[in-house]
Amino acid sequence: MLNKESKINNGATLLLTLFITSIVSIIGYKLFDLTMFTSEVEKRNLSHQQSFLMVLSLESYTLDYMSSAEKRKSLSLITNRYDPYSPIEIPLKRGNIVAQIEDKSDCFNLNLIVTNDEESKTKTVNQDELLFFKNLLSSLEIPSDKIESISASLIDWIDEDDFPDNYNGAEDFYYSNLNTPYLTSNQYMQNISELRKVKGVTEVIYKKIEPYICALPSNFKFININSISPLKPKILVALSEKKLSDQEAISILEDRPLSGYENIDEFFNDEFVKQSLSSSFSRKKLNAESFYFNLETQIKYDEFTFIMNSRIIKDDEDMKIISRKIGNFL
């Protein structure tokens, strides 16, 4: 009898020992897993901080470099080539830095279509800019009914009121009844990817217009004739109200002086240009100087990748960073 009880006790002790061993093993594994996770998080945070400091150093160098009007102009002339950008690559011990400065004065600023008055909470639709936008869409062979819908809906997306601009427009009521509901921004666009959410803008239409648009502060109105690439002739086609063909616009862009135009009057001295871009709006829209740039920095360190976009403006005679965004602009 005692022998039987002893066997039962020994079995219970063995089971208890195995149970405790299992618990200790699980706790040990979890602690190891947590330690590894914490170590990885700390490593990423450290890499993130180091990368940010590197970007700040590059920004400082870029601002100093671009304080020269001659160097800003050289950037504009690089932009207008057929060749893609040639970024600067800086090797690191266990990775590299790739930096690229882009002149952003070769696109239509979507935020110019509407002027919001903060005090009175009213809006003014800028008819010249709206017509330019419509002509740009038309030159990209977008159907006229789509153009009217997109234009009205873009106004509603940016303006601060909740009333559709016209029967083609769309405010919160329209978007909140979609399968995946959302609301209008009711403020200036921060990123061109917002346009993809606007009523009427399909993926196909967005891909067509994407190279020609930007979302800049609403006081940036000019397009630099020295910056426009021959790959983007639709800018001039739209400004001419479609008097110019694509090939004629390309020829105008290819015939620019190698050193660029010193001023916009020099560009309009050409008789064909003067006749083709005859509206007063065209003269006001084009200039020969850039005020807006983007520094894109990509840092790779082991398996870690850090991307920062720094927006740079010319304010009077100073170059300033006005915003930063981690990750790519979509």
Q: What domains appear along the chain, each with residue ranges and CATH number? A: 1-105+290-329 (3.30.1300.30), 110-215 (1.10.40.60)
**CA–CA separation, 40 vs 51, rounded Å?**
16
Tokens 């915003």 belong to which residue? 323
What's the pLDDT at 96? 86
CB 110 within 8 Å of CB 189: yes
What is the value of pTM for the model shown? Answer: 0.80
What is residue 330's predicted lDDT score, i.e. its pLDDT? 43
**pLDDT number for residue 168:** 86
Query: Three-state DSSP class for 139?
Result: helix
Return the ∠ at Cα 320 (arms to 99 and 290), rounded to 5°.
75
Q: Tokens for 86?
A: 């040639």
Work out the number of other CB atoms within 10 angstroms of the CB of residue 48: 14
Per-residue pLDDT at 93? 79
Which pLDDT score, from 0 to 100, does residue 34 have?
Answer: 47
Amino acid symbol at 163? F
Residue 37 makes CB contacts below 8 A (sequence gap 6+) with none
**Side-chain-side CA neighbours of residue 239 (13 Å):** 29
Q: How far apart are CA 192 and CA 157, in angstroms?
A: 12
Report the distance separating Cα 276 and Cα 132, nearest Å.
Answer: 15
Rounded distance between C-alpha atoms, residue 16 and residue 262, angstroms: 89
Give residue 288's identity as a one-letter amino acid code.
A
Residue-level pLDDT at 195: 94
Alpha helices in the chain (DSSP H): 2-65, 69-79, 127-139, 144-158, 172-175, 203-209, 234-239, 246-254, 264-268, 271-276, 280-285
Q: What is the pLDDT of residues 156-202, one digit of tens each?
A: 999 888 888 788 888 889 999 989 999 988 899 988 999 999 999 99
Which DSSP category does 262 fall into?
S
pLDDT below 70 — which residues of the chain? 1-47, 79-86, 120-121, 328-330
Q: Which residues pair with 223 in a beta bridge?
A: 286
CB 228 within 8 A of CB 239: no
Compute the residue count for the chain.
330
- Residue 59: name the closest of 294, 239, 304, 307 by CA: 294
Predicted pLDDT of residue 266: 94
Helix, coil or strand: residue 312? strand
Hey, CA dihedral for 23, 25, 28, 29, is it positive or negative? Answer: negative
Q: At what angle do helices 144-158 and 127-139 cross, to 10 degrees?
A: 140
174, two tokens: 């329209």
